[in-house]
Structure 1
Amino acid sequence: MPILTEDLKSGAGHYIVSEASGYRSRDVGTIVSGAGVLKPGSVLGKITAGGAVTVTKTDVGGGKGALTLAAPAYGAGVKAGIYRVVIVEPAANAGSFVVEDPDGIIIGNGNVAVAFDGVVKFTLADGATDFAAGDIALVTVAIADPAAMGKFTLYDPAAADGSAVPAAILYEGCDATSADVKRTLTARDTEVHAAVLTWKAGTTDNQKAAALAALAAAHGIIAR
């Protein structure tokens, strides 16, 4: 008589101990092409940098000082497009500014001659001529392959594309070897059975513990 074996990690949502009522614990996300064959219960990271990032700048001009980019000049979550650095409160040899992202959303406030450390990173220096309200410097971000941004792949603590931050758990398996795949995700407010979760090969116990702590703190996904 043949022996039948069953993969206990093949069922959708097998790792769930409890979740919120209705579908509040779940979302739909895109698993990025190249992620491979993933089982339900795979711990996922979200890609926030889709490729090589190039940052350039344009000064205010008119002898009003220069914007110096940091190294690196961007952080996790940076978008492709033009960031505007707008002077809002000018002062002699000083002043303050706001930074608007490519969608026109204000993402932070800063001061002249003080490093701005956001998704773009720079220092706006004072020049021979004082700034005036409304003066603008530009930070232009180009991403070689932005198509992957916002998609999910296996959590990888060594990744530089944003997936080093755990973001969700795959509810149902998929094959994303050669194409993007939409799947249901456990995104928030869920108790999960830690022992049956699936991790990227090589993830250490310490890295798993840190990832579970991060899921609990940021998403309310609690490991039991």
Structure 2
Amino acid sequence: MTAHEPKTLTHVFAGGDQTFCFEQETLAAGSGSDNVVDVGTVLGRITRGAVTVGNGGFVGTGNGTLTKANPAASADAQAGDYKIVCVEKTTDSGLFAVRRPDGTIDGYAVPGTPYTGQVKFSLADGATDFAQGDTFTLPVTVAAGSTKIVPLNLSATDGSQIVAGVSLQKKVATDGGADLPLLALVRGPSIAREQGLVWPVGATDDQKAAGLAQLNKLGIIVRAS
């Protein structure tokens, strides 16, 4: 391809059933800047919306308090109940394990020090000390994402940091403008040309390798040709 030759579908797509592998997607309007895609732009999909932390309960003998921060969660918080459990009793304090809904440990919190993990809060000791097993619960809900397509954003936490396909058209969805229809390669079995892919500016070799693995999971095999 010469410097002045526009990219076409064949610069990216090397094989597969177009009626099955291609999909008419929706390119989300820009928010803060234009969403610009070219033929071959690697795409992500918005699958997560707003994260909300409710007012959970407390079970135990201590009479200290938990105060949510504002915001009370990071964008990558999981949906479900976070358990803040006292695992070590001490006078006028205590050590609390913060357990995610999937059962893994998010971190450890102590009264008097703000906790800033997937959930964010502060604990305060009361007149009656916390006891081992005392548990606060913070219920987290995650709204559904729009499922719209945007250029792959490796720093995002709304789902668009995961490869969802490859653009087969050149489009610009302007900042604050309208969503646009976009033809994209989103599944296989199909073959894409490696030299036709357009990655985010600054993407490292490791990030590109991870992206190629994500395309592979979609059935899209990328080959140098």
Fold match (TM-score > 0.5): yes
The alignment covers a number of residue pairs equal to 175
User: Judging changes above 3 Å, is the alpha-carbon distance between structure 1 residues 133 and 9 closer, same or farther for their aligned structure 2 residues?
Assistant: farther
The 2-side partners of 1:48 and 1:133 are apart by 38
Counterpart position of 1:209: 201
User: Judging changes above 3 Å, is the alpha-carbon distance between structure 1 residues 48 and 75 closer, same or farther for their aligned structure 2 residues?
Assistant: farther
The 1-side partners of 2:11 and 2:128 are apart by 64
User: Judging changes above 3 Å, is the alpha-carbon distance between structure 1 residues 14 and 80 closer, same or farther for their aligned structure 2 residues?
Assistant: same
Cα deviation for residue 135 of structure 1 reads 0.5
Counterpart position of 1:58: 56
User: Judging changes above 3 Å, is the alpha-carbon distance between structure 1 residues 68 and 84 closer, same or farther for their aligned structure 2 residues?
Assistant: same
Cα deviation for residue 122 of structure 1 reads 0.9
Deviation string, structure 1 residues 23-78 (Cα, Å, up to 9, x no partner):
xxxxxxxx996447x87632334546324x32123353655211111111111221
Deviation string, structure 1 residues 78-111 (Cα, Å, up to 9, x no partner):
1222111111111111111111222333222222
Letter in 1 for 2:186: R
**Percent identity over the alignment?**
29
The answer on whether the counterparts of 2:52 and 2:73 sit within 8 Å (CA) in structure 1 is no
Cα deviation for residue 171 of structure 1 reads 4.7
* TM norm structure 2: 0.57
The 1-side partners of 2:127 and 2:161 are apart by 47
The answer to whether 1:111 aligns with 2:110 is yes
Q: Where do residues 115-154 of structure 1 align in structure 2 (5 Å cutoff)? A: 115-143=114-142, 145-146=143-144, 148=145, 153-154=149-150
Q: State the Cα RMSD in Å.
A: 4.3
* Residue 163 (structure 2) aligned to one of 163, 168, 184: 168
Letter in 1 for 2:71: P
The answer on whether the counterparts of 1:42 and 1:169 sit within 8 Å (CA) in structure 2 is no
Q: Which runs of 5+ in 2 are unaligned?
A: 15-22, 29-36, 170-179, 212-225
Deviation string, structure 1 residues 125-150 (Cα, Å, up to 9, x no partner):
1111111111000111123x33x39x
Letter in 2 for 1:167: I
Q: Where do residues 16-35 of structure 1 align in structure 2 (5 Å cutoff)? A: 34-35=26-27
The answer on whether the counterparts of 2:109 and 2:115 sit within 8 Å (CA) in structure 1 is yes
User: Judging changes above 3 Å, is the alpha-carbon distance between structure 1 residues 13 and 33 closer, same or farther for their aligned structure 2 residues?
Assistant: closer
User: Judging changes above 3 Å, is the alpha-carbon distance between structure 1 residues 11 and 102 closer, same or farther for their aligned structure 2 residues?
Assistant: farther
User: Judging changes above 3 Å, is the alpha-carbon distance between structure 1 residues 219 and 160 closer, same or farther for their aligned structure 2 residues?
Assistant: closer
User: Judging changes above 3 Å, is the alpha-carbon distance between structure 1 residues 94 and 168 closer, same or farther for their aligned structure 2 residues?
Assistant: same
Counterpart position of 1:73: 72
The 1-side partners of 2:24 and 2:68 are apart by 31
Q: Which runs of 5+ in 1 are unaligned?
A: 1-5, 16-30, 186-190, 199-207
* Residue 186 (structure 2) aligned to one of 183, 186, 193: 183
The 2-side partners of 1:63 and 1:34 are apart by 52
User: Judging changes above 3 Å, is the alpha-carbon distance between structure 1 residues 106 and 161 closer, same or farther for their aligned structure 2 residues?
Assistant: closer
